[in-house]
Amino acid sequence: MTRNAREVDVLIVGGGPAGLAAGAELAAAGAGRVEILEREQEAGGIPRHCHHGGFGGRLDRSAYAWASANGTAYAQASASGSAYVPGSVSGPAYARRSVAAARDAGAALRTGVTVTGWAGPRTVETTGPSGLERITARAVVLATGARERPRSARLIPGTRPPGVYTTGELQQAVHLYGQRIGTRAVVVGNEPVGHAAAATLRAAGVQVVAMVTDRPAPPVRPRRRRTPLLTGTTVTALTGRSRLSGVALRHDDGRTTTLRCDTVVLTGDFVPDHELARRGGLVLDPGTRGPAYDAAFRTSRPGVFAAGNLLHAVERAGIAAQEGRAVAVPVLHRLAGTEEPPGGGRRLVVDAPLRWIAPNVTGPDGARPQGDRFVLRTARRLTRPLLVVSQGGRRLHSQRLLLPAVPGRPFHLAADWTDRVDPHGAPVRITAR
């Protein structure tokens, strides 16, 4: 086997919002040879096929704010790296803009190149039309993103006819390939991505029969929707042979029904695309299923960083990009040999019904995460929960949330307790009551 061996300063795996932002920031900051590998033929990630607005808003301001709050020497570089214009654009426009920003800053963006495995701590093997390579980097940033769990992973029983989609496949089919979908669809999931799927279906001329969620009805009914929303309802089977013919449902109170349709879209339930991280032996967080990471985006392997939805599927593109820009700072520290030494690195663990926290390792020397807050998700609705942070029975922090925490949406925990963590103590535990 012939592999062309090369070396770069920073290798970024994944050309979505996080990877492109990291590449733009690092290249602009003079990190040397910064290379972004994107396995798709076009870079840009998920926004490429999100034909709806809402991209490029407030969250897309530079990581300058975070960097300057942390007083790093790279704040200047971060701020001057590229001009991010706040506003609301469509996904494809956002993707194009992100690609241009990375290229303009001087990052080498290579599409159609897939990382197929590791050949060393910071060495990857790649496959592309021009052949096989082995690329060694001084720092690696994993930005491999997330995907929705498909029907099989959700263990939905029934037959296996065509007509079953995830939002990702649906959006690509409609917006990138103009493929025919069907006539009547059911959307499973009512998070924002579910509404995006419904919009895509309508754009493709498909009637959306209903949206279905197993979650209970919210206490305040939203205003009348175009599509009926069935809450507290589980999909019990898919039917049909050569084509999907219906979706069998069971409501919490025991009622059952079958909705006639030829298309079903399973939305949400994102899971990090963590194959490369796991194959590399990186420690994963059991909650997020992404690599365990600290406030400096460091994984368990020195010199390997992670950013974006690989860390915590799934947040909006703007947040992924913000993390991509933020990861530049610790990467530059590493390249300069001024990386903060590991500051204890205690694991943060959550108790049910909390699902995960991110970051989930305490940072170097009490460093604070982005925005000075941790992100959390819950498995069930919590009305004004009290979040308690403790270590070995010692309470470090408690905080009452003023708004309910609901599944499918992030909420936050202030980070002003991290300097009280005993770097040699037990894992830090976060509970909600």
Partner 1 sequence: MNVTLTTAGPLPPEEDGATYDVTVVGAGVVGAAIARELARHDLRTALVDAADDIGSGTSKANTAILHTGFDAVPGSLEARLVREGRDLLAAYAAETGIPVERVGALLVAWDEDQLAELPRLREKAARNGYHASRIIDADRLRTLEPHLGPGALGALEVPDESIICPWTTPLAFATQAVRAGVHLHLNCRVRGVDSDAEGHTLTTSRGPLRTRYLVNAAGLYADEIDRLLGHDVFTVTPRRGQLIVFDKLARDLVGHILLPVPGPAGKGVLVAPTVFGNVLLGPTAEELDDKTATGSTAEGMHLLREKGRRIVPALADEEVTAVYAGLRAATGQEDYRIQEYPGRRYVAVGGIRSTGLTSSMAIGRHVVQLLAAVGLDLTRPRALPPLTMPNLGESFPRPYRSAGLIAQDPAYGTLVCHCEQVTLGEIRDALSATIPPHSLDGLRRRTRARGGRCQGFHCGAAVRALFEEARP
For partner 1, the closer of residues 247 and 367 by Cβ is: 247
Nearer to partner 1, 285 or 339 (CB): 285
State in angstroms the smallest separation of the CB of 23 from partner 1.
20
Residue number, 49 or 397, with CB nearest to partner 1: 49
Q: CA angle 401-402-407, nearest 5°?
A: 65
Q: Which is nearer to partner 1, 237 or 426 (CB)?
A: 237
Specify the DSSP element, H or E, that contains 20: helix 17-28
Query: Residue 351: is it exposed, middle or buried by C-beta count within 10 angstroms (0-12/13-18/19+)?
Result: exposed
Percent of residues in the chain assigned helix, strand, coil, to nearest 5: 25, 30, 45
Least distance (Å) between residue 176 CB and partner 1: 6
* Smallest separation, CB 353 to partner 1 (Å): 19
- Is 258 within 8 Å of 246 (Cβ atoms)? yes
In the complex with partner 1, the residue whose CB is nearer, 64 or 165, is: 165
In whole angstroms, the minimum distance from the beta carbon of 188 to partner 1 comes to 14
- Which residues are at the interface with partner 1 (CB under 8 A)? 1-3, 39-40, 112, 114, 116, 127-132, 147-153, 155, 157-160, 162, 165-166, 168-169, 172-173, 176-177, 179, 236-237, 239, 241, 271, 273, 275, 278-279
The C-alpha atoms of residue 49 and residue 57 are separated, in whole angstroms, by: 18
Distance CA 64, CA 68 (A): 6
Tokens of 364: 């170097």
Count of CA atoms in the C-beta half-sphere (13 A) of 190: 20
- Rounded Cα distance between 230 and 249, Å, is 10
Quick one: 269 or 339, whose CB is closer to partner 1? 269
Nearer to partner 1 by Cβ, of 42 and 104: the residue is 42
User: Residues 66, 37: contact at Cβ < 8 Å?
Assistant: no
Nearer to partner 1, 236 or 399 (CB): 236
- Report, in Å, the least distance between residue 155 CB and partner 1: 5
Closest approach of partner 1 to the CB of residue 140, in Å? 19
Q: Please, what is the minimum distance in Å from the beta carbon of residue 384 to partner 1?
A: 33
The residue among 395, 393, 396, 405 whose CA lies nearest residue 432 is 405
To partner 1, the closest distance from the beta carbon of 191 in angstroms equals: 16
How far from chain centre, in Å, is Cα 341?
27
- Min CB(182)–partner 1 separation in Å: 13
- In the complex with partner 1, the residue whose CB is nearer, 72 or 111, is 111
User: How far, in Å, are 171, 172, 201, 253, 417 from residue 210 at the CA level?
Assistant: 18, 22, 12, 19, 45
Angle CA 207–212–158, to nearest 5: 90
The CA angle 52-199-226, to the nearest 5 degrees, is 130
